[in-house]
Amino acid sequence: MTNRIMIVGVGGQGTILCGKLLTIALMKAGYDVKMTEIHGMSQRGGSVSSEISYSDKVYSPVTETGGADIIVAFEKLEALRYSDNLKPSGKMIINDHVMYPASVLSAKADYPEDLNSRISEKFNASFLKASEAAKELGNTKVMNIILLGALAKALDLDGVNWDEIIEENVKANFVEINKKAFRYGHDNINL
Amino acid sequence: MKNLLTGNEAVALGAVDSGVKYAGAYPGTPSTEIVENLSLCKEELYSEWAPNEKVALEGAIGACYAGVRSLACMKHVGLNVAADPFFTNAYTGVNAGLVVVSADDPGMHSSQNEQDNRHYAYHANVPMFEPSDSQECYDMMREAYEISEKYDTPVLMRLTTRVSHSKSIVERKEKLDVPFRPFEKTPTKYVAVPAVAKGLKVKVIKRKEELEKYSETSVFNKAEYYDKKIGVIASGICYQYAVDVLGKNASYLKLGFTYPLPTDLIKEFASNVEQIYVIEENDPVMETQIRALGIEVIGKDRFPLTGEMLPQIIRKVILGDANEVTAIDKSDMPARPPALCSGCPHRGIFYSLAKNKKRRDRIYISGDIGCYSLGYADPYNAMDSLICMGASISAAHGASKVYDMMGLAENKAVAVIGDSTFFHTGINSLMNVAYNNSKVITIILDNRITGMTGHQQNPGTGYTAQGDEALMLDIPTIVKAVGIKNVTTINPNDLSSVDEAINSAMEYDGPSVIIARYPCALKRFSKEDKSEFGEMYVERYSVDAEKCTGCKNCLRSGCPAISFDKTENKAKISDDSCLGCSICSQICKHDAIKKVVK
Ligand SMILES: Cc1ncc(C[n+]2csc(CCOP(=O)(O)OP(=O)(O)O)c2C)c(N)n1
Ligand code: SF4
Ligand code: SF4
């Protein structure tokens, strides 16, 4: 069976780096890995997704409807948007964070207020205030690595040295804060 | 060595390892990263951004004639632009090898159409590969150069978005050292005048027969037998999708070299399986050819003709089955479409074009392709048509002639076009405006970069793809040289000069060009940008809640940094995302938006 993970969010939130580090870890753990991304207009604040699949041998890089084992959502509304991709037995890890799309910013639509309960009722979902925590750590950008830490906990991959992966793939002066972020996500997610 | 690479990265690596020395491209999703990656390998090969795809391909053709393996890359619609050299290069053939990459976009993730460029292989009689993952991208590039030289032909490498932008593991092989092949003057091969072309066409027909034989034995075309009730014939990513859904419950004829098709292999496969499904994205290209062999298949009678052939579609069509999905209420879920960035220098132009209702009713806005295509959307709705790159100016010309013809003297056609798009094909269109004299107002949105595709250099930026300093082609000089007399350059972040420039062009009896010159907010600024524009995007603005009346006028800027709080009835500006362009503060009539004093 191929394991499938989707990382979804808003363009500019750092989903791509999160997905990249995950694929490196999976390769180090000895898996065949594929990843696919649709990033047409992603720089301009659109909805984005990265899909990562691993197994002994992976064929399709794309996750089928109802095929993802885990969805990591960097923003709550995006968790709802992509929920059809989750297996009924699947799990959601959600950044408890709101980003208004244009229609809400301009007061033409409302942002659904009951997302946490609506999603929790239907799915096995864990919420983490990753954006707030990143701000407290001193850099809002490391939210993506906090969520990677949470995901790593859920995956529990054998023999992966995450610190080393961060050291090898993050600019030198951001290594420490990213390690802290990873640890925060890993230790604070309630799975 | 094993690496996780995207298809585009693997194509680039395959080019380097095949000894390619010349690569030309014009950016276009999903092909852009091929030359972006090659541009980092300056010691290995020369690579460039050409002004358009025709120019890129012609450069690669010249380089392969002159004796080095060459590459031209483009998105699917780019091959329309490059079709002219492509068809005749198929006649002359090559000296050193030549590969043309066409990256198609089934599902139109970032394109204006979904054309299936496999038709070009058939139409131009050019052999074609269709990789299904990154390893195949790498391996097929190497094979493509061998085929190109052995059969004296350009080769089409057809990618799709999912192949270009998916990562999978690639095992690199040894790097080839390919000797330079000096050009031998052979007019009967290279000079395609009618007398020569007649002979070349016969050669092309013979070549196709030879390639048919290659196709039968190519390592990239092979049958895999498991359960024989279902037989799948698939190429490209569709093969991967099919195996994922059907596994060993089907047999496969996996085709990687798809023009010309291996007809014997297909007939043999057909005789070994009960029911054949041809699985291909978009058009029934293989299906039509297979049916012509007298083989009954299920194809586009059951599979959709548009969009990606995703696994769930294959599951539904072949197995009549769907994965279980947990239902949840999404009825109130707002969409999240892309928007012009905060600080985007295109904002002032579209705000201004949209705002003046009386003027808007008099103008037809002919759009073009780039970030500024978003001018069509809310809150501007300031684009009335969009066709293809460069068409804004020429379509406006046609419309303007009709206004003259019909005596609609009040009406004007306005073209909006980016700098990269102007260099691409806009220049030719502007020549027509000048030569055939129409009263078009052309607004060139010169944000000093090719923004939409991820910030590539272009002839106006002063730098090459490989990062070297270059001549900076001057748009006002070009426009004047073309023959346009009414030319103004403005700062689009100064709304009063935007308005003034448009109003004065509305009154002018002849063609006008307005150049809105200011760097894209996401650009990495060059030293020339810094000396011309000074410090950019360093200020911040905020709303004075006491003065804000809740009139929502500032929302018409469409800036994603501004939100409206319904309960407080006040606008707010996010300090994190404001880039200080000042457009909103110029719009506010109540003096409520002010520069933040630090
Ligand atoms: C023939 C063709 N080639 C390439 C593309 C891809 N493409 C779309 S917009 C664009 C660049 C636009 O740059 P510019 O005109 O400078 O506008 P900006 O995005 O910077 O606002 C490109 C390369 C295309 N749509 N058609
Ligand atoms: S990338 Fe540049 S040109 Fe494109 S929307 Fe953003 S600021 Fe505007
Ligand atoms: S000044 Fe106003 S329009 Fe410009 S980026 Fe800031 S909030 Fe947006």
Strands B22-25 and B70-75, sheet pairing:
parallel
pLDDT of residue A40: 59
| Nearest ligand to the CA atom of A43 | 2
Contact B370 CB / ligand 1 (< 6 Å): yes
Q: Residue A12 has what pLDDT?
A: 87
Residue from B566, B583, B558, B552 nearest B378 by CA: B558
From the CB of B561, is ligand 3 less than 6 Å away? yes
Q: What is the DSSP string of B438-454?
A: ---EEEEEE-SSBTTTT
> Which tokens hold the place of B355?
């705002």
B65-79 as b/e: b if 16+ CB within 10 A: bbbbbbbbbbbbbbb
- Sign for the CA dihedral angle at A107, A108, A114, A120 comes to negative
Mean pLDDT for chain B overall: 97
Class of domain B541-595: alpha beta
**d(CA B508, nearest CA chain A) in Å:** 36
What pLDDT, in 10s, does the model give residues B452-504?
A: 999 999 999 999 999 999 999 999 999 999 999 999 999 999 999 999 999 99
Secondary structure (3-state) at B312: helix
Query: CATH class for domain B347-533?
Result: alpha beta
Verify whether ligand 1 is closer than 6 Å to residue B49 (CB atom). no
Q: For chain B, state the CA radius of gyration.
A: 27
- Return the CATH number of the domain spanning residue range B221-319: 3.40.50.920
Please give the number of the atom of ligand 3 that sits closest to the Cα of B585. 2
Nearest by CB to B162, from A10, A36, A40: name it. A36
Residue A14 belongs to domain with CATH number: 3.40.920.10
Per-residue confidence band for A107, with pLDDT thresholds at 50, 70 and 90: confident
**Cross-chain Cβ contact A102/B560 below 8 Å:** yes
C-beta of residue B491 within 8 angstroms of C-beta of residue B499: no
Instruction: Give me the residue spans of the domains in chain B.
Output: 2-217, 221-319, 347-533, 541-595
Per-residue confidence (pLDDT) for residue B301, from 0 to 100: 98
Looking at residue A106, its pLDDT comes to: 86
Sign of CA dihedral A54, A59, A62, A65: negative
State the pLDDT confidence band at B128, using cuts at 50, 70 and 90.
Answer: very high
Is the CB of B340 within 6 Å of ligand 2? yes
Distance from CA of A95 to the nearest CA of B (A): 17
Nearest CA to ligand 2 atom 6: B341
Measured CA to CA, the distance from residue A50 to residue A8 in angstroms comes to 6
Q: Which atom of ligand 3 is nearest to the CA of B343?
A: 5
Q: Helix (H, G, I), strand (E, B), or coil: what is residue A150?
A: helix
**How many CA atoms within 13 Å lie on the side-chain side of B581?**
32
Q: Is the CB of B115 under 6 A from ligand 3?
A: no
Strand partners, A52: A5, A35
Residue A42 has pLDDT above 70, yes or no: no
Among all chains, which residue has been given the structure tokens 């030289």? B149
Atom in ligand 1 nearest the alpha carbon of residue B419: 16
Task: Report CA(B345)–ligand 3 centroid distance (Å).
Answer: 11
- The torsion defined by the Cα of B319, B320, B324 and B328, in degrees rounded to 10, comes to 150
Cα B106 to Cα B111: distance, rounded to the nearest angstrom = 9
Interface of B with A in 191-220 (CB under 8 A): none
Tell whether omega for the bond before B30 is within 30 degrees of 0, i.e. cis: yes
Judged against a pLDDT cut of 80, whether residue B598 lies above it is answered with no
Query: Does residue B9 have a pLDDT over 90?
Result: yes
pLDDT in the model for residue B597: 81
Q: What is the pTM of this model?
A: 0.97
Measure B452 CA to nearest chain A CA, in Å: 8
Domains B2-217 and B347-533 equal at CATH topology level:
yes
pLDDT digits (tens, 9 = 90+) for B147-190: 999 999 999 999 999 999 999 999 999 999 999 999 999 999 99
Rounded percentage of chain B residues whose pLDDT exceeds 70: 100
How many C-beta atoms lie closer than 10 Å to residue A62's C-beta? Answer: 23
User: Which letter does DSSP use for residue B371 in this model?
Assistant: G
Q: A171 in ligand 2 pocket by Cβ < 6 Å?
A: no
Give B166's strand partners.
A36
Residues 21-60 of A with CB under 8 A from B: 23-24, 27, 32-47, 58-60
Query: For the ranges A36-50, B110-124, B301-315, which has the lowest average pLDDT?
Result: A36-50
What is the tens place of the pLDDT at every residue in B34-87? 999 999 999 999 999 999 999 999 999 999 999 999 999 999 999 999 999 999
Would you say how long chain B is, in residues?
598
Is B418 touching ligand 1 by the criterion CB < 6 Å? yes
Give the best residue of A1, A20, A38, A44 to mutate against chain B (max B CB count within 10 A). Answer: A44
pLDDT reading at A43 higher than 70:
no
The CA distance from A71 to A87, in Å, is 10
- Whether B165 and A39 lie within 8 Å, measured CB to CB: yes
Among B83, B61, B220, B283, which residue's Cα sits nearest to residue B153? Answer: B61
A26 contacts in chain B (CB < 8 Å):
none
Complex ipTM over 0.85: yes
Question: Using one digit for the tens of pLDDT, what is the confidence trace for B386-444?
Answer: 999 999 999 999 999 999 999 998 999 999 999 999 999 999 999 999 999 999 999 99
Residues making up chain A, counted from first to last = 191
DSSP H helical segments within B320-458, as ranges?
Answer: 347-355, 357-362, 391-405, 419-421, 427-435
> B338 and A42 in contact by Cβ < 8 A?
yes
Report pLDDT for B337: 87
Residue with tokens 């809640």: B545
Cα A140 to the chain's mean position, in Å?
15
Atom of ligand 3 at shortest range from CA of B579: 5
Which of A54, A58, A59, A76 is most worth mutating to test chain B (most B CB atoms within 10 A of its CB)? A59
Q: How many domains does chain A have?
A: 1
Q: What is the pLDDT of residue A191?
A: 87
The answer to whether residue B516 scores a pLDDT higher than 80 is yes
pLDDT at B226: 98
The CATH number of the domain covering residues in B2-217: 3.40.50.970
Q: Is the CB of B346 under 6 A from ligand 2?
A: yes
Strands (E), B161-256: 166-171, 221-224, 230-235, 251-255
* Chain B, window 350-379: residues with a beta carbon less than 8 angstroms from a chain A beta carbon: 371, 374, 378-379
Query: Whole domain around residue A28: which residue ranges?
Result: 3-188
